[in-house]
């Protein structure tokens, strides 16, 4: 096993059990290690700090599997970690019975680079790091053992794999393709999930609780859902009794899927739903010019800042979209606004939204802070895991 020896003073993050070691912290590699290999991590005085997956192509040079220098990283290790992650979710009452659930949330479950989402009897796995890719067989075996699922599909096609020197990989790892897309029931609404071509693993499970909240707020309101994707928020608004729901997305295929999802729910009032394929920024400007107004606006845009280096540019985009949202609200209206950018923290996001309200000439207050669902935990030693943050804001 190779030994990764840190520069003087660079062991502090490891001592705090942070799972990442950046290239600038590494002094030298003793022995040989290929991408994804497990290496021993030592301080400059050769104190053992743990074992990590080595990634020579990435600025995150190593990701800790364990902070116990004596713990073996082998097939049994992944079996234990995966079983523990699944058991933690089974112990939470609010997650019991969920047909769509995140089973493994990477670093926050002690499994860096590993995402696994379950949709009914199908698990979709995403391996984003060299270490996770190296242990693919053990990970799949652990998932099969812990879940008893019928099939496993791999969606290792995110851009971050390129930073690890890895190519995109997709396809069935266990079982065969079903005759139709998996479907889940979430908050009494049925949704089909495109695990092959959809975003992430097919759906945004992290917004489950926030979609339920929207349903509770929607009664009698005219709702505008921006960046609607396949209609998760839209259908919850209709189920909650919204007077009307206008949903906008730039993706025609996503809107087709959203309308198909609506058709799965015959009890929902389809006549109250309007779908618009358009650039959201341009559409909202057109609405303002036309004098169109809404009682509740949902802003759930894509990731504007994949890292802190993009924060300034992202801040301008978040400012613009929230400014438009505030200007379209009727007095007493609600803005449900989100950022999923890891490079934009909650303090900065709140500052951006406050600036947008000021520029829009609206007095507003935060009614509730919003975050990911319980199956997307945030490890205390890894605050970067809190990528989804949101605010429910009411205007005068």
Active site positions, annotated: 340
Place of tokens 């067989």: 137
d(CA 219, CA 238): 8
d(CA 84, CA 89): 9
CB 179 within 8 A of CB 146: no
Exposed, middle or buried by CB within 10 Å (0-12, 13-18, 19+), for 250? middle
Dihedral angle sign, alpha carbons of residues 161, 165, 169, 174: negative
SS3 of 25, please? helix
Measured in whole angstroms, the distance separating CA 140 from the mean position of its chain's CA atoms is: 21
Looking from the CA of 335 toward its CB, the CA atoms found within 13 Å total: 31
The phi, psi pair for 368, rounded to 5°, reads -160, 145
Place of tokens 């190593």: 62
User: Which ranges of 37-121 would DSSP assign to H, the alpha helix?
Assistant: 75-90
Q: What string of DSSP letters covers 315-362? A: HHHHHHHHHHHHHTEEEEEEEEEEE--TTS-HHHHHHHHHHHHHHHT-
User: Which ranges of 58-135 would DSSP assign to H, the alpha helix?
Assistant: 75-90, 130-134
d(CA 250, CA 248): 7
CB 188 within 8 A of CB 239: yes
d(CA 300, CA 206): 12
**Strand arrangement, sheet containing 329-339:** 273-277, 244-249, 222-226, 294-299, 329-339, 389-395, 364-371
């Amino acid at each position: 096993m190779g030994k990764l020896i840190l520069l003087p003073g660079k062991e502090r993050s490891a001592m705090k059990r942070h799972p990442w070691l950046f290239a600038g912290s590494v002094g030298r590699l003793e022995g040989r290690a290929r991408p994804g290999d497990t290496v021993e991590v030592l301080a400059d005085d050769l104190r053992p700090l743990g074992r990590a997956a080595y990634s020579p192509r990435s600025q995150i040079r190593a990701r800790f599997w364990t902070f116990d220098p004596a713990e073996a990283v082998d097939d049994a290790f992944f079996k234990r970690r995966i079983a523990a992650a699944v058991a933690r979710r089974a112990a939470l009452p609010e997650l019991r019975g969920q047909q769509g659930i995140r089973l493994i949330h990477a670093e926050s479950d002690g499994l860096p680079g590993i995402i696994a989402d379950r949709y009914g009897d199908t698990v979709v796995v995403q391996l984003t790091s060299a270490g996770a890719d190296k242990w693919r067989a053990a990970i799949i075996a652990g998932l099969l053992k812990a879940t008893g699922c019928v099939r496993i599909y791999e969606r290792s096609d995110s851009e971050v794999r390129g930073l690890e020197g890895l190519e995109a990989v997709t396809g069935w790892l266990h079982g065969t393709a079903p005759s139709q897309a998996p479907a889940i029931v979430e908050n009494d609404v049925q949704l089909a999930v495109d695990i092959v071509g959809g975003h992430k693993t097919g759906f945004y499970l992290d917004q489950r609780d926030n979609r339920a909240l929207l349903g509770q707020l929607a009664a009698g309101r005219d709702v505008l859902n921006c960046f609607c994707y396949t209609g998760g928020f839209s259908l919850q608004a209709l189920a909650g009794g919204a007077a009307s729901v206008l949903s906008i997305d730039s993706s025609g295929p996503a809107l087709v899927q959203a309308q198909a999802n609506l058709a799965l729910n015959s009890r929902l009032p389809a006549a109250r739903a309007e779908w618009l394929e358009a650039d959201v920024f341009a559409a909202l400007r057109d609405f303002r010019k036309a004098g169109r107004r809404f009682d509740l606006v949902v802003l759930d845009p894509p990731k504007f800042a994949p890292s802190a280096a993009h924060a300034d540019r992202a801040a301008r985009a978040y400012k613009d979209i929230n400014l438009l949202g505030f200007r379209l609200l009727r007095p007493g209206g609600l803005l449900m606004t989100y950022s999923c950018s890891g490079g934009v923290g909650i303090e900065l996001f709140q500052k951006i939204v406050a600036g947008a309200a000021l520029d829009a000439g609206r007095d507003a207050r935060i009614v509730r802070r919003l975050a990911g669902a319980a199956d997307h935990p945030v490890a205390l030693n890894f605050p970067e895991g809190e990528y989804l943050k949101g605010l429910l804001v009411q205007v005068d």
